[in-house]
Structure 1
Amino acid sequence: MAENTMLGGKVRALRRRESMTQGQLAERLGISPSYLNLIENNRRPLTAPMLIKLAQLFELDLSTFGTGGDASIVSDLREAFGDPLFDNHGVTTGDLKELAASSPVLAKAVLALYRAYRDTRESAETLSERLEGGGGVEATRLPTEEVSDLIQRHMNHFPTLEDAADEVRAGGRLDTDDVYRSLVRYLEKEHGVEVRLLHVADERKAMRRYDREARRLSLSELLPPRSRRFQLAHQIGLLSASDTIDRLLEGESGLSTPESRALARVAMANYFAAALLMPYGPFFEAARAERYDIELLAHRFGTSFEQVCHRLTTLRRPGAEGVPFHFLRIDIAGNISKRFSGSGIRFARFNGACPRWAVHTAFLTPGMIRVQLSRMTDGTRYFCVARTVRNDRGGYHAPHSMLSVSIGCEARFARELVYSDGVDVESNEALVPVGVTCRLCEHHDCEQRVFPPMQHPLRIDENMRGVSFFGPTPKR
Structure 2
Amino acid sequence: MSQFNLKIGPKIKAFRRQLGLQANKLAEDLGISPSYLNLIEAGKRKIDGDLLLKICERLNIDLSHLNAKSDINLENTISEILDDKLFEDLDILGPEVKDLVSTNPKIGKAIVRLGDILKKKDHELINKIEKISGKIVDNRKNSFPGEVISDFLQEQKNYFPKLEEFANKVFQKIQIDNRTRYLSLCEYLKTEYSITVKDVIPEENKPFSKIYNKQKKELLLSDYSSLETKKLHAAAQIAQLGAMKEVDYYLSKFSFPTLESKNLTKVALLNYCGAAILMPYKLFHTECKKLKYDLELLQNTFATSFEQVAHRVTCLQDPKLPGIPFHMLRVDMAGNISKRFSLSGIEIPRYGGACPRWNVYSAFTRPGVIQVAVSKMTNGEKYVCIARTVEKGIGRYGQAKSILSIGLGCDAKYAKDFVYTQNLNIQDKQNEIPIGVSCRTCDRLDCSQRAFPPLHKKFDVDINSRGVSIYVNDK
CA distance in 2: counterparts of 1:313 and 1:142, whole angstroms? 22
How far residue 187 of structure 1 moved from its aligned partner, in angstroms, is: 0.9
CA contact (8 A) 1:143 1:259 kept: yes
**Residue 188 (structure 2) aligns with:** 186
**Residue 24 (structure 1) aligns with:** none
> What is the correspondence of 1:357-372 to structure 2 with a 5 Å cutoff?
357-372=358-373
Letter of the 1:426 partner, please give it: Q
> What is the correspondence of 1:19-34 to structure 2 with a 5 Å cutoff?
28=33
Letter of the 1:345 partner, please give it: I
> What is the correspondence of 1:92-241 to structure 2 with a 5 Å cutoff?
92-134=93-135, 135-137=137-139, 139=141, 142-172=144-174, 174=176, 176=178, 179-201=181-203, 204-241=206-243
CA distance in 1: counterparts of 2:333 and 2:414, whole angstroms? 29
Inter-CA distance 30–86: structure 2 relative to 1 (3 Å threshold): closer
CA distance in 1: counterparts of 2:345 and 2:152, whole angstroms? 16
Describe the superposition over 1:175-202 as per-residue Cα deviations: whole angstroms up to 9, x where unpaired: 6567111111111111111111112447
CA distance in 2: counterparts of 1:363 and 1:170, whole angstroms? 39
Letter of the 1:256 partner, please give it: P
**Residue 250 (structure 1) aligns with:** 252
Letter of the 2:163 partner, please give it: L
CA contact (8 A) 1:152 1:340 kept: yes
Moved more, 200-209 or 457-466: 200-209
CA distance in 2: counterparts of 1:114 and 1:92, whole angstroms? 18
**Residue 469 (structure 1) aligns with:** 470
> What is the correspondence of 1:300-379 to structure 2 with a 5 Å cutoff?
300-379=301-380
**Residue 455 (structure 1) aligns with:** 456
Moved more, 297-306 or 115-124: 115-124
CA contact (8 A) 2:201 2:223 kept: yes
How far residue 385 of structure 1 moved from its aligned partner, in angstroms, is: 0.7
Letter of the 1:414 partner, please give it: A
CA distance in 1: counterparts of 2:327 and 2:8, whole angstroms? 32
CA contact (8 A) 2:459 2:471 kept: yes
Inter-CA distance 337–73: structure 2 relative to 1 (3 Å threshold): closer
How many corresponding residue pairs? 457
Gaps of 5+ in 2: 25-31
Describe the superposition over 1:265-298 as per-residue Cα deviations: whole angstroms up to 9, x where unpaired: 2111111111111111221111111121111111
Q: Pick the structure with greater CA Rg.
A: 1
SS of equivalent residue, structure 1 residue 440: coil
**Residue 23 (structure 1) aligns with:** none
CA contact (8 A) 1:391 1:400 kept: yes
Inter-CA distance 472–371: structure 2 relative to 1 (3 Å threshold): same
CA distance in 2: counterparts of 1:382 and 1:444, whole angstroms? 21
SS of equivalent residue, structure 2 residue 429: coil
Give the TM-score normalised by the residue count of structure 2: 0.86
How far residue 409 of structure 1 moved from its aligned partner, in angstroms, is: 0.4
How far residue 123 of structure 1 moved from its aligned partner, in angstroms, is: 2.1
Moved more, 407-416 or 46-55: 46-55
CA distance in 2: counterparts of 1:189 and 1:203, whole angstroms? 34
**Residue 400 (structure 2) aligns with:** 399
**Residue 296 (structure 1) aligns with:** 297
Inter-CA distance 297–203: structure 2 relative to 1 (3 Å threshold): farther
How far residue 223 of structure 1 moved from its aligned partner, in angstroms, is: 1.5
How far residue 420 of structure 1 moved from its aligned partner, in angstroms, is: 1.1
SS of equivalent residue, structure 1 residue 209: strand
**Residue 48 (structure 1) aligns with:** 48
CA distance in 2: counterparts of 1:106 and 1:30, whole angstroms? 22
CA contact (8 A) 2:61 2:319 kept: no
Inter-CA distance 155–259: structure 2 relative to 1 (3 Å threshold): same
CA distance in 2: counterparts of 1:59 and 1:316, whole angstroms? 15
Letter of the 2:224 partner, please give it: L
Inter-CA distance 4–45: structure 2 relative to 1 (3 Å threshold): farther
CA contact (8 A) 1:354 1:434 kept: yes
CA distance in 2: counterparts of 1:8 and 1:282, whole angstroms? 34
Gaps of 5+ in 1: 21-26
CA distance in 2: counterparts of 1:30 and 1:351, whole angstroms? 43
CA distance in 2: counterparts of 1:302 and 1:79, whole angstroms? 40
Give the TM-score normalised by the residue count of structure 1: 0.86
**Residue 435 (structure 2) aligns with:** 434
Inter-CA distance 325–10: structure 2 relative to 1 (3 Å threshold): closer
CA distance in 1: counterparts of 2:462 and 2:186, whole angstroms? 69
How far residue 165 of structure 1 moved from its aligned partner, in angstroms, is: 0.6
SS of equivalent residue, structure 1 residue 429: helix
CA distance in 2: counterparts of 1:90 and 1:443, whole angstroms? 20
Inter-CA distance 60–124: structure 2 relative to 1 (3 Å threshold): farther
Inter-CA distance 105–219: structure 2 relative to 1 (3 Å threshold): closer
CA contact (8 A) 1:122 1:139 kept: yes
**Residue 28 (structure 2) aligns with:** none
Inter-CA distance 427–266: structure 2 relative to 1 (3 Å threshold): same
CA distance in 1: counterparts of 2:193 and 2:317, whole angstroms? 31
